[in-house]
Structure 1
Amino acid sequence: MTHAAVLRPALLALLVAGAGSASAYQLYATDDTHLNADLSATFGLFHSQERYTMSGTLDQGSSSWQEGFVKYGLSGDQKLGGTGTAYGAFNLLSSATWGDGDAAGFSDGSERTTRIEDAYAGWRSAGLFPVLGEDGIDLSFGRQNIVVGDGFLIDGDALNLGKGVADGEFNRGGAYYLAGRRAFDETAVLRIGGKEGWRGDLMRLKSDNRAQAKSELYVATLEHVAQAGTVGLTYIDVNDIDEQYASPAQLARKDMKTYSLRGTGNAGVENLFLSGEYAWQDKRHTDNGASSDENAWYLEAGWTFADVAWKPYVSYRFSRFSEGYDPLFYGFSRGFGTWFQGEVAGNYAGPFNSNTRVHNIGAKVTPLENVSVGLQWFDFHTLDTDLGNTDANELDLYAEWAVNEHLMIIPLVGLYQPKKSAAEGGTQLGNDNSNLYSQLLFSTTF
């Protein structure tokens, strides 16, 4: 299994939210008790004129496939007199891939799986500790999705490989792009602090995902939240991995320490968006037995022209990921391009947030209240071409149409131009032609 195979695509932030319990049908409600039925579904149609080497199972040609998942179950909460609120959820998720399978060969179109997705319980302190704010203590356990910051390091356990890799040994049920399965198998999470001021988290996260080498993480965060923005520190200690399933790159993950400094907000300037993060990794187990230091960072700035028709938003981001950087559990949090940079590059062709630097320009307009149109351009430059060459440019045009409160439709067309074919050290099979890629996504929540 290649290093690229430990990385996975995701979906628009609105769809990710829809896959959780953000929308629900209320079955029972009193002042103290709530019981909800959760139901969400996402379906996608995909076509790629070109294929890529990541799974090692495909030949030159095109791929057309479909993916879908349905998530369903119960969630609720119960006030405990003056001693806080208990809450929890139990959800199943059914997923599938049809057709040829994805353009990198991680799925083959035969995947069909139903498994438990969420199974957690927790307690919030309500007003028990005024100095910490409302719900200043939040303690939870079980199988649940966890996000740190904007997903640069951790945004769920969402790599969903299919049967196309290692004779299906890493199969998680299909829907590789949609990635409905996001929950860590075992979690213990203590959140301290309210929604403003100083707050922090202490977490133990255990993955049951073979494609992530079933990693066990200890995570600590410290943040200051203010109206002008949030500044945070993150510490991640990979305590253990299952070496049976680890790729060569993942073998260096055991005992690896990651430290990061991050910030996001508007610095008190309306219409401005600023974001950045610097992550440093101390790897203890490398191929030659010596330790190594790796790093990744980005800086991003955006501006909304609020007084102009359609309220255009433009942004620029530069990101850099060192040659041996381990991208861990990065995910999809703020829309297209974060942190799967380029629909073709980030999902099938690479790079996968390692051994690369990326320029990104984004633009978005809102011609109607329920319709927005966006454009993303990426320039990828490989740092060490001896490890493979993923130099490329990509342009993605997409729309987001909220048909009603229950249905979102998102068409996207991408044009990906690699500098090298697979025979020349790149990843595109058979040629270095432009790849015209298209997808159409439907997401519904109730």
Structure 2
Amino acid sequence: MSIKASKSFSLRFALTCATPAFLIFSSTAHSFQLYNDGATTIDAKLAASFGVFSSREKYAQTPTQTSGSTTWQEAVFQYGLDVKHKSEQFGGTYAALNWVSSATFGDGDAAGWSLGDERTTKIEDAYAGWKSGHLAPMLGEDGIDLSFGRQNIIVGDGFIISGDALDFGRGPLDGRLNRGGAYYLTGRKNFDQTAVVRLGGSEGLRGDLMWLKSDNPAQAAPETAVATLENVTEKGTVGLTAVKVLDTDKEFADILYPERKDMKIYSVRAKGDAGVPGLFLASEYAKEHKTTSDENAWYLEAGWTFNDTKFTPKVNYRYSRFSEGYDPLFYGNGRELGTWFQGEVAGNYAGPFNSNATIQQVGLKLAVTPTFNAGALLYKFDTLNTQVQDLSGKELDIYGEWTVNEHLLVLPLIGFYKPDHSLENGGSQLGSDSTNIYAQLLFVTNF
């Protein structure tokens, strides 16, 4: 839903769901070992990403957005220390302290979430934890894992929770939601405060109990309680998730999410190959209880990798449906490009933002060389209730993944997005409903 030029600013789902697609690429940083005595290791973490973006069209997600083309750049730089210590008598302890510097340059993004002059440096990782090692053999190795502090949390493949990864700039609400820019690259994705208990090893029955506190004004800084129960086997994982929003920041909740406080979500999910090499199956159904309505969201996905064929083609199809008033909360990319950021233009700028919509996705990926993958994602978006806004449309994204060396990844992408309607006819694209040509080039480095 776009932001209207009124005091109510009806942007609830646009803000909730606009978690950038770059999350999957920025989620892991390599490290350089500074110290290792066999029991204690100290690693220096250093990672950087830079993106160049261009969009022929803009989208009316903020009141000041104007029609025309836009070009912008984003940069993220992460640096800090990770410490681990292992002991046969006491298990293992770990901690991290990392900073993130982020910036947006140029005209600002195609939706107006950022304006091009955002810059900030803040602490990102600040957590500590303890793992049981072999002290609780009935639960498996490291069958007890306790942690607290500022850290990233992902549940399943991110259908409901994939970090707190919504990084707006100064565009919405006169800059009150500004998190420092780099909206697409997602430099900040950690929950501000957490307390996590994980029970069970890497296989068999396991579960989590979590308390997560956001400091993100664009999410109304919710405080949530989360419980999961999973059964992990070689053939796949089946899991249950329960989430309750305990509290929100009233100032922002009144504007953005008046029904988020006390909201409950229950889901059942499954993912795996069912024991068939090359097969991929995934599904999740979420039931959401809000003050005035019950909502739901679900998806079915199937894929196949042709392992004995030249270029090892990988194909998949997914159908997802999000009810009219569904609040996607903290969803994001948990697996790869296009997981829950569906469409580089639609999912980031134009909408729909995983609410009031059905979305069909067809994917193809080829291992062209040992260091270069090429892929394409085709989408069809259909709005369920078109009374307020109709964000139906189609999109084709063609991308590459070039591993230059162990420290550098280059990701080119070109997208073609055709909305059914312009802003004047109920859509979000400013000026016309013509096909938008969108391009981006990303550089990701790890040391």
Q: TM-score range by the shorter chain?
A: over 0.9
For 1:316-355, list aligned pairs within 5 A.
Answer: 316-355=317-356
Indicate the residue corresponding to 1:106 in structure 2.
113
Indicate the residue corresponding to 2:415 in structure 1.
414
Q: Given that residues 400 and 411 in structure 2 are in contact (C-alpha distance below 8 angstroms), is that contact kept between their aligned partners in structure 1? A: yes
- Spell out, residue by residue over 1:141-188, the C-alpha distance to the aligned partner (whole angstroms, 9 max, x if none): 000000000000000000000011111111000000111100000000
Q: Given that residues 216 and 240 in structure 1 are in contact (C-alpha distance below 8 angstroms), is that contact kept between their aligned partners in structure 2? A: yes
Q: Given that residues 67 and 178 in structure 1 are in contact (C-alpha distance below 8 angstroms), is that contact kept between their aligned partners in structure 2? A: yes
| Aligned equivalents of 2:88, 2:306: Cα separation in 1 | 48
Q: Given that residues 82 and 95 in structure 2 are in contact (C-alpha distance below 8 angstroms), is that contact kept between their aligned partners in structure 1? A: yes
State whether structure 2 residue 225 is matched by structure 1 residue 218: yes
Indicate the residue corresponding to 1:9 in structure 2.
19
Indicate the residue corresponding to 1:391 in structure 2.
392
Q: 2:65 aligns with which of 38, 58, 70?
A: 58
Deviation at 1:241, TM superposition (A): 0.6
State whether structure 2 residue 142 is matched by structure 1 residue 135: yes
| Aligned equivalents of 2:65, 2:337: Cα separation in 1 | 27
| Aligned equivalents of 1:354, 1:385: Cα separation in 2 | 12
Change (3 A) 1:248 1:13: closer
Q: Given that residues 123 and 140 in structure 1 are in contact (C-alpha distance below 8 angstroms), is that contact kept between their aligned partners in structure 2? A: yes
Deviation at 1:135, TM superposition (A): 0.2
For 1:92-241, list aligned pairs within 5 A.
Answer: 92-241=99-248
Indicate the residue corresponding to 2:48 in structure 1.
41
Q: Given that residues 21 and 338 in structure 2 are in contact (C-alpha distance below 8 angstroms), is that contact kept between their aligned partners in structure 1? A: no
Q: 1:260 aligns with which of 257, 267, 289?
A: 267
Change (3 A) 1:206 1:13: closer
CA-based RMSD of the aligned residues comes to: 1.0
Q: Given that residues 322 and 354 in structure 1 are in contact (C-alpha distance below 8 angstroms), is that contact kept between their aligned partners in structure 2? A: yes
Indicate the residue corresponding to 1:288 in structure 2.
none
Opposite residue 17 of structure 2, the aligned amino acid is L
Opposite residue 196 of structure 2, the aligned amino acid is V
- Spell out, residue by residue over 1:404-445, the C-alpha distance to the aligned partner (whole angstroms, 9 max, x if none): 000000000000000000010100001101000000000000
Q: Would you identify which runs of 4 or more consecutive aligned residues in structure 1 move more than 4 Å?
A: none
Paired residues in the alignment total 437
Opposite residue 233 of structure 1, the aligned amino acid is L
- Spell out, residue by residue over 1:356-402, the C-alpha distance to the aligned partner (whole angstroms, 9 max, x if none): 00111000100111110000000000000013110000000000000
| Aligned equivalents of 1:97, 1:360: Cα separation in 2 | 30
Indicate the residue corresponding to 2:3 in structure 1.
none
| Aligned equivalents of 1:101, 1:13: Cα separation in 2 | 19
SS class of match (1:403): strand
Q: Given that residues 15 and 42 in structure 1 are in contact (C-alpha distance below 8 angstroms), is that contact kept between their aligned partners in structure 2? A: no
| Aligned equivalents of 2:94, 2:254: Cα separation in 1 | 38
Q: Given that residues 12 and 333 in structure 1 are in contact (C-alpha distance below 8 angstroms), is that contact kept between their aligned partners in structure 2? A: no
SS class of match (2:259): helix
Q: Given that residues 9 and 178 in structure 1 are in contact (C-alpha distance below 8 angstroms), is that contact kept between their aligned partners in structure 2? A: no
Q: 1:272 aligns with which of 279, 284, 303?
A: 279
Provide the TM-score with structure 2 as the length reference: 0.96
Q: Given that residues 22 and 184 in structure 2 are in contact (C-alpha distance below 8 angstroms), is that contact kept between their aligned partners in structure 1? A: no
Q: Which runs of 5+ in 2 are unaligned?
A: 1-8
| Aligned equivalents of 1:335, 1:413: Cα separation in 2 | 17
Identity level (%): 56
SS class of match (2:251): coil
Opposite residue 127 of structure 2, the aligned amino acid is Y
Change (3 A) 1:13 1:309: farther
Deviation at 1:334, TM superposition (A): 1.5
| Aligned equivalents of 2:250, 2:424: Cα separation in 1 | 31
Q: Given that residues 5 and 54 in structure 1 are in contact (C-alpha distance below 8 angstroms), is that contact kept between their aligned partners in structure 2? A: no
| Aligned equivalents of 2:53, 2:208: Cα separation in 1 | 38
Deviation at 1:249, TM superposition (A): 5.3
Q: Given that residues 22 and 186 in structure 2 are in contact (C-alpha distance below 8 angstroms), is that contact kept between their aligned partners in structure 1? A: no
Deviation at 1:14, TM superposition (A): 5.2
Provide the TM-score with structure 1 as the length reference: 0.97
SS class of match (1:101): coil
Deviation at 1:80, TM superposition (A): 3.8
SS class of match (2:138): helix
SS class of match (1:154): coil
SS class of match (1:394): strand
